[in-house]
Amino acid sequence: MLKVLIVPVLKDNYSYLVVDEPTRSCLIIDPPEVTPILERLDSENLKPSAIWLTHHHQDHVAGVPGLCQRFPGLPVVCSQRDAARLSLSTRSVKDRDELEFGGERAQVLEVPGHADGHIAYYFPASNHLFAGDVIFGASCGAVFDNTHAEMYRSVSRLTKLPPETKIWCGHEYTENNLRFAKAVLGPEALAQRIAEFKVPSVPLLLSTEHATNPFMRLESPEVLGYLNLEPGDPEAAFKALRLAKDQF
């Protein structure tokens, strides 16, 4: 079974080390900084096998050149749509491609909306999902270029994974997101989650998001009432909810 180590980076980002304990090898997921990654590799006596990137934003990839300099020949995996943007990538992948690490297979899921070319990595055997900036605790990622329809489809796709899926997201935004979720869904729906909140809030459990994330409850009376919308068009509700979150 793979082990995931959290590496806090920048102001509120997370990078992850996915560890194969028998070999002490690991994947590095979305490194925007070098020093925190190197310090954790040294303290845990780990050897990196590859860097896997979810999308091209600098707060997820800026550490790649330094790590590749420190570990010459280190493979760097990104989406096909990001390959031209990321000159150090050594392999590009597309939807439904499979990767292997630590005796487990990871499925590549294309989930655009927050960024063109955004992908997620899902390990079915151990229920790990590295979701980048698509899903956050009690919310979803920002939409920058009116790609709400894409983001709706991407979030909806990830909600269909098994409820025991552990979501490793790219930022620690949960505390602020819980305030918005409480305003939308009501204090009773969020009471237990707010009472149990701690940092780091990852991994998020998909079953918890189903119950307390308004972006996964688009046809609920609470969300529709908050938006003053009629049922039957969850995509429109998603866009309205995301725009409301932007202004909250």
Q: Strands (DSSP E) along the chain, which ranges?
A: 3-9, 13-20, 25-29, 47-52, 76-79, 91-93, 98-101, 104-110, 119-123, 128-132, 135-136, 139-140, 166-169, 204-205
Q: What are phi and psi of 217, to 5 degrees?
A: -130, 45
Cβ(16)–Cβ(120) under 8 Å? no
- CATH number of the structural domain 3-175: 3.60.15.10
3-class SS shares of the chain: helix, strand, coil, % to 5: 35, 25, 40
Residues 6+ apart with CB under 8 A from 119: 54, 55, 78, 79, 93, 95, 108, 109, 110, 111, 132
pLDDT digits (tens, 9 = 90+) for 92-115: 999 999 999 999 999 999 999 999
pLDDT in tens, the chain (248 residues): 899 999 999 999 999 999 999 999 999 999 999 999 999 999 999 999 999 999 999 999 999 999 999 999 999 999 999 999 999 999 999 999 999 999 999 999 999 999 999 999 999 999 999 999 999 999 999 999 899 999 999 999 999 999 999 999 999 999 999 999 999 999 999 999 999 999 999 999 999 999 999 999 999 999 999 999 999 999 999 999 999 999 99
Selection from 151, 138, 157, 150 nearest residue 217 by Cα: 138
pLDDT at residue 87, rounded to an integer: 92
**Rounded to whole angstroms, how far apart are CA atoms 155 and 211?**
15
List, for residues 190-211, the tens digit of each pLDDT value.
Answer: 999 999 999 999 999 999 999 9
* pLDDT the model gives residue 1: 85
Listed by start position, the domains of the chain span 3-175
